[in-house]
Structure 1
Amino acid sequence: MSSGPPPQGEPRTHLDELVHGPVSASFLRTLRASLSDGPGPAGPDLTDREPRLRRRLRRLADSLPPGRELLDRPEQLGALFGWVAAADPPLTMVLINHYLLALNSMDQLAPDHDLLKSHFEALERGRAKGVFMITEVGRANSHLATRTTAEFDPVSRGFTLNSPDPTAAKFTAGTRNGGPLIGAALARLVVAGADCGVFSFVVDLVDKDGLRPGVEMSDTIELSALPLDYAQFRFHDLRLPYGHWLRDSAEIDADGAFHDRLGSPDLRLQRTLCVGQVLWAVLPSALAAMSRQSAVLALRYARRRRTQGRLAPGTALLDYRTQQHGVLGALAEAFALTCAASRSLTVLAESRLAAGGGPDPETDGPMTFAPWSAISRPLSAYKAHTVRAAARITGDCQRFCGFSGHLDVNRLAAYHGFSRAFDAAGGDSQLIFFDLGRARADDARRPGEPEAQHPVPGSPGWWPYVLRAHEQRLTDRLRRLRDRNAAGADEFAVWNPLLSDAGELGETYAARLVAEDVARVVTDLGLQEPESSAAVDALAGLYGAVTARRLAGPLLTAGTLRPEEVRELPAIVDRLCDRLLPHLDLLERAFGYPQAVVGAPLGDPDFNSALADSLGWHQGGPS
């Protein structure tokens, strides 16, 4: 069953635009053509992994607008990462490092692009691969205490990059012989013996002759959840020219004196990590795409798979209520992530207009557990929520598909592995939730006044209503606990016993943002396309009902829901599933990606034959 952009000249629906973004059909056709050369039904040859990913990177770079133009077009970035995620999760990670982190660091923080002209050209043309070098392997929260140093030499006006010991080794994906590799490496700038804060530096790690002098690299470290050629990197008196310092508004004058208009190390670190805003805004598009495709694959499986259970032999799996709750619930949660992905791109565009690409002007308070919420509270919340939700959705869909769901060739394992890996990558999600909860406890703003009338359970407005009330209850409780602990105590003594409470509040804040995004989309799509409107209305209600069932314990504990309300939820889910069943063909078409792009036999109408046809077969000779 084919999905994706409509044929030439056929108008796109509002649901299409929600899924793929407000981009041209020609842009989507370019993505389809560029990604229809996947690794093949049997999966990639591991010995060809790095060359294959570089070929795909180069093909995309040749067919898409230049990288710096893409970075200025959030809607195109969202579509790009959605399609790449459905096609090839490891390639998605390559593009995150290449475009969103390495190239974006250069674009945002290099005051004179001409000094890095050859590096920009190599990255934009895909002739070099870019990586981001932030994590240091030996310490937790290394982003808050970077130990790699870049010492300024007043004679040459260059820098010397050093790893002070093995625990400061950087961790990223790269090989010694795969072609040019360019890093954006975070290091602590030292001028005349003084610590001047953390900046990014452009580092040539590998060129046409191999590993550069001053760069030490480990053997490959395998990570099966997200298979790339990972390695540790160390620096030994690596010389860098002045132009490789991504100095932003800082400078070192002719007398060797350092100047930074930001005025504090924390603000400088936030600015250096401003690329996180783009990552967090775009990553939900990738996670939503993986979740939608997982739900579509599980739905196709459940509609076509016949069970031989004694209750009703020959019945399709989807006829069972438990399968409907699971599979259609996954479809509804994937829809919610799609709404959040659309909103996160809008938040990025709005924050750029307000702050010129710097830290979010609405964030408040110092960095405590991590720098992420100080950079952008809503975007870090979207990152953490969508990663956790996508890992649950994709993992559930694997289980719904039984044996077939765990075969690598059917992609669900890759989607699940990517989602799980990103719980820690790109800003640890649990630390983000801790910081979001702390920030909400310090925040005088309320999540919104309750509606005058309680919405009907199962309606699109019910779940946002519940979460606003729940967030306020958790906020009030955390403030009371914080204030009780605060007298004469330091920050650690105050917050250490409250981390679980802060994390729960942070998760609720993020969930409330997503629930409000869902309600907003239902309102915006309402009545424009009757079938789509009916489908998304039921999806929105089902999303709230299945999520409330999963969170029944915390909701009951806080007194947000009453026991009788929780007991009604299974019947509400049944009714909403019945409303969705007539619209499944529409949702499969809208949410799935083309079979030529995904390449999973499970997506084929006859998935058993598709899997068999993808395999080589061998017959024994006469005995």
Structure 2
Amino acid sequence: MTTLAPTLSGNARAEMLRLLHGPCDPAALAALASLREALADGDSGPVHGPGRGVALLGRLRSLADALPPGEGILDDPARLAAVHAHAAAANPSLCLAGLVHHLLCLGSLTELSDDQNGLEPRLSALREGRAKGVYLITEVGQANSHLDTGTRADFDPADGSFVLHTPGPGAAKFGSAGTRGVEQTGVVLARLFVGGADRGVFAFMVGLTDEQGPLPGVELSNPIALDALPLDYVQVRFHRVRVAAAHWLSDGARIAPGGESSGTAAMFHDPAGSPEQRLQRTLRVGQGLWAAMPAVAAATSRHTAVQAVHYSRTRRTQSRLAPGVPLLAYRSQQTVVLGALADAFALTCAADGALAVRTGVRAAVPAGPEREEAMGFTPWAAVSRPLAAYKAVTVRMAARLTAECQHRCGFSGQLTSNRLAGYRDFHHAFDTAGGDSQLIFYDIGRSLVEEGLGREPELREPLEPTSPYWWPALLRRHQTALVRELLWLGGADASRDPFERWNPLLERAGLLGEAHATLLMADDVVRVLDGLRDPGLVRALTPLAALHGALSARRWAGSLLTLGPLEAAESATLSAAVDRLCDAVLEQLPLLLELFGDPEDHRVQGATLTWTRGAAS
């Protein structure tokens, strides 16, 4: 195979740093380098056991040190995403702990509190990594528990405080709150009652544990093992825990106490206007998590793909077809590992797109009627359709990519030290965590149908599958075809009961939602390509972008052929197109490995072994 020597100009390096880590300034990049060193000590990660809570807190402190100090810790979404992406590449369980700590717990305290001074000193302890943050939303008794939260917070007019209570076993919270020997502060979602009236779901800051164990009224179960993500999971119950008025994350809502002498009841006002809108506002903290997840998925996928390519280049086969040739000589191996490199590039572009939405560079509201997004099957897409879509499509792609590479790396892919199993389990877990991806796809599909977006896209000149522009154009036509099919099947018939209307159409709606999310990523790929200035980068990344599209079309071929955007004759050319694109990627492979890799990706398992020889008799 022909290869080009890596030649990376200074401008190209700057462009790649911007793409890989977001618009981070030199100080932020230096902080990321320090974080990498801090996480490279070989620690096995946060699990149960003596001293592990203190070790986890030390690691969270390392993440905090790489973020802006004090009140500005959450002010830079790109830096937040980059820090957690570095954590994920080093230790997926630590990344999960950090995401919960910073983006869900601290994010709620920052975004939903009307008086952050009232949250001290716990708020400062969380910002500085002296306490661990927990987010308790899921309840164990029913599916979609966030839609029918059972945990109660009753307003006490005597002093303006709240009484937090778990009314039954099914309302017990599930979360990573069992870390021993450290202070833990939780953001707990509970249904607020004022004068006996249900006022919707709000968040409350609640002290959970100190160095000695659970605080009064807080009950923790024994540890719950979850081998895929070895954190400190427990069930949590509250027994009439008193929560100070300042610890209600009221988000603009107000309670005016009544008077006993006058017999007037407490007056409640919420700018959200309805319990449904209140839930969406309480859950808007999820946008920070969703904006960071594509960067996390991209970072672990780049590590995975580069490892798989190095393994395939150096692993010699003894097949009778061609004894001694490397695995990468086989087309079947090229398709998977070079395809993983192509998908990792697409995920990197999607991470850039998600951050653009989060920072307002791109509009957060998709094209369609000017209206507030109504909650459908779940609140996730209503909180932010594009960010929810990015989260769902990127974690699902990263899980698939990692599982395929792990399989193609033989026993090496199973070794804990190579982290592929950890990456795979992390992304499989996040397919349902942080907003169930399939439910997100259902909701996006439903929304697109009810908006009636069945317009034909603008037709342009025909494209070949070897062009990076071919896949987004094909996918845009497919999204239109899926909308029109669902409209024809009655998806927008408001005269029918919603359950009867959508129950037989959910799988199609989910496919449409996934197509829409996949199109966001496909458009990001060509947007990033069009924005590159260095010709060497363009030359290296163009075949990678096109390979991502051609392989994606093969995975979508059944649906594409059924609805017509992909003709049978065009489908028949895909395999040959993939082969040509693999050859083009191979020509640029040394440079691509330099762009996406790092020294750790070259590590050899044998170099980490120690040996013991039996004594001679």
TM-score bucket of the superposed structures, by smaller chain: over 0.9
Tell me the equivalent position of 1:416: 424
Conserved 8 A contact 1:460-1:537: yes
2:445 to 418, 430, 437: 437
Write out aligned runs for 1:148-297 (5 A): 148-175=151-178, 177-255=180-258, 256-297=266-307
3-state SS in 2 of match to 1:85: helix
1:510 to 517, 523, 527: 517
3-state SS in 1 of match to 2:181: coil
Conserved 8 A contact 2:445-2:510: yes
CA distance change for structure 1 residues 213 and 246 in 2, over 3 Å: closer, same or farther?
same
Tell me the equivalent position of 1:613: 607
**1:563 alignment partner AA:** A
3-state SS in 1 of match to 2:484: helix
1:317 maps to 2:311:
no
Tell me the equivalent position of 2:131: 128
| Deviation for aligned residue 1:425 | 0.3
2:348 to 322, 338, 357: 338
Conserved 8 A contact 2:187-2:204: yes
1:545 to 550, 558, 564: 550
Conserved 8 A contact 1:101-1:275: yes
**2:280 alignment partner AA:** Q
3-state SS in 2 of match to 1:273: helix
| Deviation for aligned residue 1:39 | 6.8
Q: Distance in 1 between matches of 2:401 and 2:364?
A: 34
1:565 maps to 2:570:
yes
Tell me the equivalent position of 1:30: 31
Conserved 8 A contact 1:49-1:228: no
2:500 to 493, 513, 518: 493
Tell me the equivalent position of 2:308: 298
**1:141 alignment partner AA:** N
CA distance change for structure 1 residues 524 and 258 in 2, over 3 Å: closer, same or farther?
same
Conserved 8 A contact 1:441-1:475: yes
Deviations 1:287-321 (A, max 9, x none): 11111110011011111111111111111111111
**2:289 alignment partner AA:** L
Q: Distance in 2 between matches of 1:591 and 1:168?
A: 45
Deviations 1:241-263 (A, max 9, x none): 10010001101013221111221
Conserved 8 A contact 2:221-2:236: yes
Conserved 8 A contact 1:41-1:614: no
Q: Distance in 1 between matches of 2:497 and 2:181?
A: 50
Q: Distance in 2 between matches of 1:219 and 1:352?
A: 46
CA distance change for structure 1 residues 63 and 380 in 2, over 3 Å: closer, same or farther?
closer
The two structures have a TM-score, normalised by structure 2, of 0.93
3-state SS in 2 of match to 1:312: coil
Deviations 1:352-405 (A, max 9, x none): 9989xxxx9967553221101111111110011001100001111101211100
3-state SS in 2 of match to 1:458: coil
Q: Gaps (5+ residues) in structure 2?
A: 1-7, 259-265
| Deviation for aligned residue 1:235 | 0.5
CA distance change for structure 1 residues 275 and 447 in 2, over 3 Å: closer, same or farther?
farther
| Deviation for aligned residue 1:505 | 0.6
Tell me the equivalent position of 2:487: 479
Q: Distance in 1 between matches of 2:189 and 2:99?
A: 17
Structure showing greater relative contact order (alpha-carbon pairs closer than 8 Å, 6 or more residues apart): 1
CA distance change for structure 1 residues 10 and 444 in 2, over 3 Å: closer, same or farther?
closer
CA distance change for structure 1 residues 131 and 365 in 2, over 3 Å: closer, same or farther?
same
Deviations 1:301-359 (A, max 9, x none): 1111111111111111111111111111111011111111101011011189989xxxx
| Deviation for aligned residue 1:594 | 4.6
Tell me the equivalent position of 2:104: 101
CA distance change for structure 1 residues 78 and 497 in 2, over 3 Å: closer, same or farther?
same
Q: Distance in 1 between matches of 2:62 and 2:84?
A: 15
Q: Distance in 1 between matches of 2:370 and 2:327?
A: 48
Q: Distance in 2 between matches of 1:67 and 1:586?
A: 40
CA distance change for structure 1 residues 210 and 380 in 2, over 3 Å: closer, same or farther?
same
3-state SS in 2 of match to 1:423: helix
**1:432 alignment partner AA:** I
Q: CA RMSD for the aligned pairs?
A: 2.3
Deviations 1:109-151 (A, max 9, x none): 1011111121210001100010111100110001111110000
Conserved 8 A contact 1:67-1:99: no
Q: Distance in 1 between matches of 2:41 and 2:27?
A: 25
**2:609 alignment partner AA:** L
Conserved 8 A contact 2:219-2:236: yes
Tell me the equivalent position of 1:599: none
1:349 maps to 2:359:
yes
Q: Distance in 2 between matches of 1:572 and 1:16?
A: 30
Q: Distance in 2 between matches of 1:197 and 1:44?
A: 38
3-state SS in 2 of match to 1:268: helix
Deviations 1:190-226 (A, max 9, x none): 0000000100000000123321011000111111111
Q: Distance in 2 between matches of 1:195 and 1:100?
A: 28
| Deviation for aligned residue 1:18 | 0.8
1:69 maps to 2:76:
no
CA distance change for structure 1 residues 552 and 363 in 2, over 3 Å: closer, same or farther?
farther
**1:402 alignment partner AA:** G
| Deviation for aligned residue 1:40 | 5.3
The two structures have a TM-score, normalised by structure 1, of 0.92
Deviations 1:160-200 (A, max 9, x none): 00111111111111225230000000000000000001000
| Deviation for aligned residue 1:421 | 0.4
Conserved 8 A contact 2:414-2:420: yes
3-state SS in 1 of match to 2:588: helix
**1:297 alignment partner AA:** Q
**1:339 alignment partner AA:** C
| Deviation for aligned residue 1:507 | 0.6
Conserved 8 A contact 1:288-1:341: yes
Conserved 8 A contact 2:46-2:231: no
